[in-house]
Structure 1
C-alpha cells in the first residue's frame, strides 16, 4: 500500500479506489470474487473508498505537501537497495 495523504496534487479518485480494491483483495484473500460474492466485494470496495476519501479530506498537517516524483524516486532507491538492481 502506498501513502495517499499530503501530496500535491492530492490523491485522485482512481488512486483511492485502487487502494480500496487492494485492501479488499488482501482481506478477502481473493483477487477476483466468485459471482456469488461479486456484489458484496464491490460494495466493500466502494465503502472503503468512501471511508478513505473521508479520512484524507479530514486529515490536517503543517508539513509541506510531498512531491510525487521525489517520493517515487525514493521508493525506487529503497527497492534497489533492498532487492538489488538486477545487474
Structure 2
C-alpha cells in the first residue's frame, strides 16, 4: 500500500473531496509507476484518477461503523509519535 495514502473513513469532520482526490492520485501514480504521465497517457491517467476518486467516495459514503469518529489532530499526533519512534527524533 502507498504510505502516503491515508485512512479516510470514520473521521470528524469527514474526508473532503480534495483528500479523496489526493488518495486517488497517489494510487494511480503508484500503480502506473509515473508521477506525471506522458501526453499520450494523460487522458487515461486523469480518467483513472477520476474513476478511483468516485469509487472511493462511494465506498466511504456506504461504509458503516458503530465506533465513534476519530479526531484528525489526535490521529496526526499518534502518527508523528510512531514516525519519531521508527526514524528517531528530528534534529
TM-score bracket for the superposition, by shorter chain length: over 0.9
Which structure shows the bigger proportion of residues in strand conformation?
2
Length-normalised TM-score, structure 2:
0.94
Matches within 5 A, 1:1-87: 1-87=5-91
Q: After the TM superposition, list the runs of 4 or more consecutive aligned residues in structure 1 that deviate by more than 4 angstroms.
A: none
Can you give the 5+ residue segments of structure 2 that lack an aligned partner in the other structure? none
Residue 85 of structure 1: how far off its partner (Å):
1.0
Alpha-carbon distance in structure 2 between the residues aligned to 1:86 and 1:32:
31
Residue 51 of structure 1: how far off its partner (Å):
0.1
Aligned residues: 87
Length-normalised TM-score, structure 1:
0.98
- Cα RMSD for the two superposed structures: 0.6
